[in-house]
Amino acid sequence: MIALSQPEPARRWEIPDHLLTIEEYAALGETKSGFTELVEGRVVMSPSPKPRHNRAIYRLVAQLEAQLPDHLDFVPDTDVDLGLAPSDKPGFSRRPDLLIVDKTAVARVDKDDNMLRAEEVAIVVEIVSPGSRRTDYQVKHDEYADAGIPHYWIVDITEPVSLVACHQAGEFGYMDAAAVTGTFATDVPFPVELDLDALLS
C-alpha cells in the first residue's frame, strides 16, 4: 500500500505590529485571502473581483493592446509603489486593475523582483466595483495625482459603461473630463479609441 503524502499546513500570513514601509510590505509576499494594498503603512485587504469586473478588464486590454505604442505595455493587477513617503516611513502601495507602463519598467521588475514605481506609469486604470466607488473616484484619484501619475482612467461598468479620463494639471492635481459613454477616443498620452459597450458584451 502506498502512503499518500499529507499536504503541508498553509503558511500563516503574519502582519507586523507596526506601520509598514514599502520594503516591509513587499517582503510579506502574497496572501490567499484576497489581494492587499498599503495605505499609510496599513495593510488593506480587498475581496477578489467578481467575474463581470475581470471580464471588463480583459476586454479593455484586448482593445488597448493593438493600439499601444511600441515602448509601452500593459500590466494587470500589480503592485505599484506610489512614492508618497520616504523609504523609511509608512508607505503607500496600490494594486490597480490595469497599468500602462514603459516596457523598461517591466524588464526592471522582472530582473530585480521589485515593485513598479509611480514614475514609470503612463496610465492607471480602475474598474469601479460597488464596494470601491468612493475609493476609486476620490481616495485613489487623489493618491494617484499626488504620486504624479499623468493619466487616470476610471471605468464604471454600471450600464451604460462610462469612462472618466483624468490628467495632471500641475499644482491642482487631476483635471477630470466629463464621463464618456459609447466610444472613448483620445490622443493623449497616445491615440486610442475604445468601444466601452464592448466591455460587457
pLDDT at 10 over 50: no
Query: Does pLDDT of 29 surpass 90?
Result: no
User: How far is residue 153 from each of residues 66, 78, 196, measured CA to CA in Å?
Assistant: 18, 16, 12
**Structure confidence by residue, pLDDT tens digits, 178-192:** 999 999 999 999 999
Of the candidates 153, 139, 134, the one whose C-alpha atom is nearest the C-alpha of residue 194 is 153
Q: Tally helices (H) and strands (E) across the chain.
A: 5, 14
Distance CA 105, CA 108 (A): 5
**CB-based contacts of 168: which residues, under 8 Å, 6+ apart?**
145, 148, 149, 150, 151, 174, 175
The CATH-assigned architecture of domain 49-199 is: Alpha-Beta Complex (3.90)
Q: What is the pLDDT of residues 30-68, one digit of tens each?
A: 766 567 899 999 999 877 788 999 999 999 999 999 999
Distance CA 117, CA 21 (A): 14
Question: Does the predicted model carry a pTM greater than 0.95?
Answer: no
Residue 201 clears pLDDT 60, i.e. is over it: yes
Q: Which residue has the higher pLDDT, 6 or 144?
A: 144
pLDDT over 70 (residue 3) = no
Task: Return the HEC string of 54-118.
Answer: HHHHHHHHHHHHCCCCCCEEEEECCCEECCCCCCCCCCCEECCCEEEEEHHHHHHHHHHCCCEEH
